[in-house]
Amino acid sequence: MICSSLQLRRFDASTSLCESLVDVLEQELRQLLTSGSMARPLGLATGRTMEPVYAGLVKRLQTWSGSDRQRLRKVWSSFNLDEYIGLEVRDPRSYQAFMDAWLGEPLQLSSSSLRVPDGQATDPDVAALNYSREVAARGGIGLQLLGLGANGHVGFNEPPCGPEQRCHVVTLSEATRHQNASMFGGNPAAVPHQAITLGVAEILAARDIHLVVTGRSKAPILARLLAMQRPEPSLPASWLLEHERVQLWADAEALSLA
């Protein structure tokens, strides 16, 4: 059964999903050009789901005029959801490196406009608090992109979790370290045990949320989410049912058990 508060956008293939999502992102960025620093920042996600989205976005932005691209660089403002704690500066497995590779370098964005939580801070709790304050000072997130963890996490909000928590330090679950082990030589034990993540509270404060779910590996958790009538701490993404403007972008493989 499909619950009603998530607006489902179903695609046969992930390629057509990405194309349509890039349309939405392009529109948001055009809006950013007109409203400039008054606009709320973008909320960005990492992970395999986002790779073709960002590749498509970069390709699309290459069709913009040089002057529009230059203006975009000046007004760009985004906050990523999460970062591992304890990786070295410029570790290629960090989410900072991911963002630099997929968006920062191709679009020539400065690290001050493409923000990621500080996973190298000497005091990660303070870093999380400061990050939360910075997001709040910008009026909260405008458009929030989200992937879905195989255990139902959004950002790194691991189950069980409530809706009130703001940006915080989290201990990653065994399931998440397994899910993300491929970047760490296939060894879950090598995945950092802690991370900083925006909380569900900041996610729910976003103006618009786009949850992107692709591939067969996400089919079980997506089926569980879609069968839910109300949020439950055991499935962090289910808090999205409390938001009025959530679009769920899913391909046929991810929906194959729904």
> Is 155 one of the binding residues for ligand GLP (CB under 6 A)?
yes
> Is 180 one of the binding residues for ligand GLP (CB under 6 A)?
yes
- Torsion angle, alpha carbons of 103, 105, 106, 108, to 10: 100
Interactions with ligand GLP, residue window 16-45 (CB under 6 A): 45
Query: What is the spatial distance between Cα 79 and Cα 3, in angstroms, rounded to a whole number?
Result: 29
Q: What secondary structure letter does DSSP report for 172?
A: P
Residue 148 and residue 215 in contact, taking contact as beta carbons nearer than 8 Å: no
> Is 49 one of the binding residues for ligand GLP (CB under 6 A)?
yes
For ligand GLP (CB under 6 A), the number of binding residues is 14
With left for phi above 0 and alpha for psi between -120 and 50, is residue 47 left, alpha or beta? Answer: left
Q: How far is the CB of 189 from ligand GLP (least distance, A)?
A: 16
Tell which residue, 210, 234, 214, 230, has the closest CA to residue 222.
214
Residue 177 and residue 191 in contact, taking contact as beta carbons nearer than 8 Å: yes
> Which range, of 111-119, 146-154, 225-233, 236-244, touches ligand GLP by CB under 6 A?
146-154
Cβ proximity to ligand GLP: between 85 and 148 the closer is 148
> Is 96 one of the binding residues for ligand GLP (CB under 6 A)?
no
> Is 140 one of the binding residues for ligand GLP (CB under 6 A)?
no
> Which range, of 18-26, 147-155, 219-227, 231-239, touches ligand GLP by CB under 6 A?
147-155
Token pair listed for 96: 């900072």
> Is 46 one of the binding residues for ligand GLP (CB under 6 A)?
yes
Which residues would be at the binding site for ligand GLP (CB under 6 A)? Answer: 45-49, 81-82, 147-149, 155-156, 176, 180
